[in-house]
Amino acid sequence: MTTGANMSQPLDCDVVIVGAGIAGSLVAWKLGSQGVKVIVLESGPGNQSLAQRQSYVDNFKVSGLPYPLRPAALKNYDFFTNSTNYYQEQPPTRPAQGPIGAQINEIAEPFSDYNIISTDVTTKGDWFQSNYERQLGGATWHWLGTTLRLLPTDFALESTYNPSVPGGLTAYDWPISYNQIEPWYGLAEQTIGVSGPDEGEEYLGLTRSSAYPMPGIPQSYLDQQLIAAIQGETFYDGWTKQNYPLEVAPTPQARNSAPGYGGRPQCQGSSSCIPVCPIQAKYDATQHIQLAQQTGNVEFRVQCVAYQVVADTTNSNLPITGIKYKNWQTDANGNISSTEGIVTGKIYVLASHAVENSKLLLNSPCGTITVANQSDQVGRNLADHPVSLVYALTDNPVYGYRGPLSTSGVESLRDGGFRSYRGAFRMEIGNDAWSWPISDPYTTPMNLLGTPGNGIWGQALAEQVANTLTRQIRIGCLTEQLPNPNFRVQLSKTPDQLGILMPQLTYGIDTYGRRALAAAVAASVQIFKSMIKNPVVQWNYEEFSDANGSIVIDQGRTTDSGTPNIFIREGWAGAGHVMGTHRMGPDTDAGKKMSVTNRLQQAHDHPNLYLLGSGNWPSYATGNPTLTISALALWAADTIKNQLSP
């Protein structure tokens, strides 16, 4: 037996969960509600008090109320009604009186115990640009809130399109279908509280067996101007020689369109969804953490970093017998110390993110290999949704910086015959103007100020800032990659402050993904040209050009003649959608050789080990992953409960 667990001692609980993000908290809550004893190890701090949350909120959103927040006051939902009209409509033409701007302070990130990730770059200057965090509640503290379903064809990419691209990469089908996961999608929407449209979501084969629990979030004034500009337009794809409609759909999202659902207020359009919703109208996992605690059956152990999964190698079934962890503390001088422990249960669930799950498994010996890794797929096929950012100055004001950061998207290009040749993409229309591309509304005023004696000031500055910021718009396209076993998580040789080896990421973008980025940029530019009478494009996207599909982007980083009003941010951005590192596959001999878990997210190699999260994705599609993570987590909770039942 691998040392660490004493099988003669009573078990600590029924189920051990590593990670208190959305997957771990949902499973803990659902099992705890059914009388299952659960212990959750969370590597990050708690920080759940009102004061701690508000200290973070105050960095980004100043309350309009002259009184300090009180917990009881947060339950008065009568205040949060009819709050969305202002960002659906054109604002008054007379600007509000008051200071032009406020001092921007250096922001100290209180949740900054990220791993320092060593990066081994091997592919044309690419590096992994997404991150995650160690914090009770996980990335839902800072997520946008988008809750898209994957499309039916997303679960069957190989059998539907059989992509063939240079490099020999292969697509994989999921071992589940859309019809199988569809009821769990509905349950997830009810559980976390999703506001979704009654109409406009029938695109690309989506079907529903249940209605959204709340009406959709209204589309913004900016959305409406873009929709009017491209009415009836199509996008020509050079790979299939076909035109595809450019159709805008309202975005389902886990924020309240009506007060009270899930104990949350109605969205106020604060425009700070990332990094934090100041009133918690947007769902975050702390809500189910609190519900789990209220069952009396769930214990959360914070600041406990799991570092090894213990397997019984004397048993041919290789059951897991414990999780080793380090409980860390920080003294008044910032010095870190830790004590070691081990927690035992009947079933073990790893829900600590695609990178952390892989790192933990790779650090866990199991005979001559590591835990759950007979397929040698743990850590491989690391993926994201690389984002192209195109932004523009429209002729007329569209009034960004109002409402949720995105309320609509172009969903009609998420699927099509082109997926045999290039990745699909989803076009997210941003209400946040140029905040993502260039960190406005701060960059433009600072550039206008310039240096003393070489800038504009006073009324001229105020007018120019107002003229510019109200006309800003951006589109971010989330693009599709193919699984690549060479893009992976490995253990580095560098230990962190607890003595645990840090992960090393190798990553890049293949031809399939680069073609998707090129097409995404072309479609974004086309949309903005429809909104601007005299469009002038500043091209700087040379590295993603690909003429094989009749898309030629920047042969020399040129700019059209005139003053540019359409801009392409060079390179690409991370979406924060980390996927693929312990993918699921069929529970067959062939399936076990190319995957880590079966369709129930149970490890092929260990009958009492489950892996949750987007690390299970066999292919990546274009939809934001959180709703699918939630649906699969709820499904896994039922499976685990059935396995525990006598």
Query: pLDDT tens digit string along 466-504?
Result: 999 999 999 999 999 999 999 999 998 888 889 999 898
Please check whether residue 537 is in contact with residue 559, taking contact to mean a CB–CB distance below 8 angstroms: yes
Is the same domain home to 289 and 343? Answer: yes
Q: Does residue 257 sit within a domain? A: no
Domain boundary among 520, 537, 571: 571
pLDDT computed for residue 255 by the predictor: 96
Domain boundary among 571, 590, 607: 571
Please check whether residue 493 is in contact with residue 179, taking contact to mean a CB–CB distance below 8 angstroms: no
DSSP E strands in 19-153: the ranges are 38-41, 118-119
Is the same domain home to 296 and 345? Answer: yes
Q: Does residue 283 sit within a domain? A: yes
Please provide the DSSP assignment of 450-462 as one string.
-BTTBS--HHHHH
Is the same domain home to 165 and 287? Answer: yes
pLDDT computed for residue 117 by the predictor: 44
Is the same domain home to 515 and 446? Answer: yes
Q: What secondary structure letter does DSSP report for 197?
A: -
pLDDT mean over 448-467: 88
pLDDT computed for residue 121 by the predictor: 44
Is the same domain home to 307 and 187? Answer: yes
Domain boundary among 518, 547, 571: 571
Going by pLDDT thresholds of 50, 70 and 90, the confidence category of residue 51 is: low
73/116 Cα distance (integer angstroms)? 40
226: its two tokens: 């873009």
Task: Note the helical H segments in 511-573.
Answer: 511-531
pLDDT computed for residue 374 by the predictor: 97
Q: Does residue 352 sit within a domain? A: yes
pLDDT mean over 204-219: 94
pLDDT computed for residue 75 by the predictor: 35
Is the same domain home to 299 and 361? Answer: yes
Is the same domain home to 463 and 611? Answer: no
pLDDT mean over 608-628: 98
Is the same domain home to 470 and 528? Answer: yes
pLDDT at residue 138 greater than cutoff 70: yes
pLDDT at residue 124 greater than cutoff 50: no
pLDDT computed for residue 270 by the predictor: 84
Question: Which of 390, 415, 409, 482 lies closest to 237 in space, CA to CA?
Answer: 415
Is the same domain home to 547 and 592? Answer: no
pLDDT computed for residue 47 by the predictor: 62
Q: Does residue 233 sit within a domain? A: yes
255/216 Cα distance (integer angstroms)? 9
Is the same domain home to 321 and 464? Answer: no
Is the same domain home to 360 and 452? Answer: no
pLDDT computed for residue 260 by the predictor: 94
Instruction: Identify the burial level of 106 via C-beta atoms within 10 angstroms of its C-beta, where 0-12 means exposed, 13-18 middle and 19 or more buried.
Output: exposed
614/456 Cα distance (integer angstroms)? 49
pLDDT computed for residue 559 by the predictor: 59
70 CB-near residues (< 8 Å, 6+ apart): none
CATH of residue 290: 3.50.50.60
pLDDT mean over 288-305: 97
Q: What secondary structure letter does DSSP report for 175?
A: S
Q: Does residue 332 sit within a domain? A: yes
User: Of all residues in the chain, what percent carry a pLDDT higher than 90?
Assistant: 68
Q: Does residue 110 sit within a domain? A: no
- Residue 591 structural domain: 13-47+133-194+279-382+490-499+578-646
Q: Does residue 18 sit within a domain? A: yes
Q: Measured in whole angstroms, how far is the alpha carbon of residue 306 from the centre of its chain?
A: 23
Number of domains making up the chain: 2
Is the same domain home to 474 and 559? Answer: yes
Q: Does residue 54 sit within a domain? A: no
Digit-coded pLDDT (tens) for 510-554: 889 989 998 999 999 999 999 999 999 887 654 444 444 444 444
Digit-coded pLDDT (tens) for 354-404: 999 999 999 999 999 999 999 999 999 999 999 999 999 999 999 999 999
Q: Which residue has the higher pLDDT, 82 or 468?
A: 468
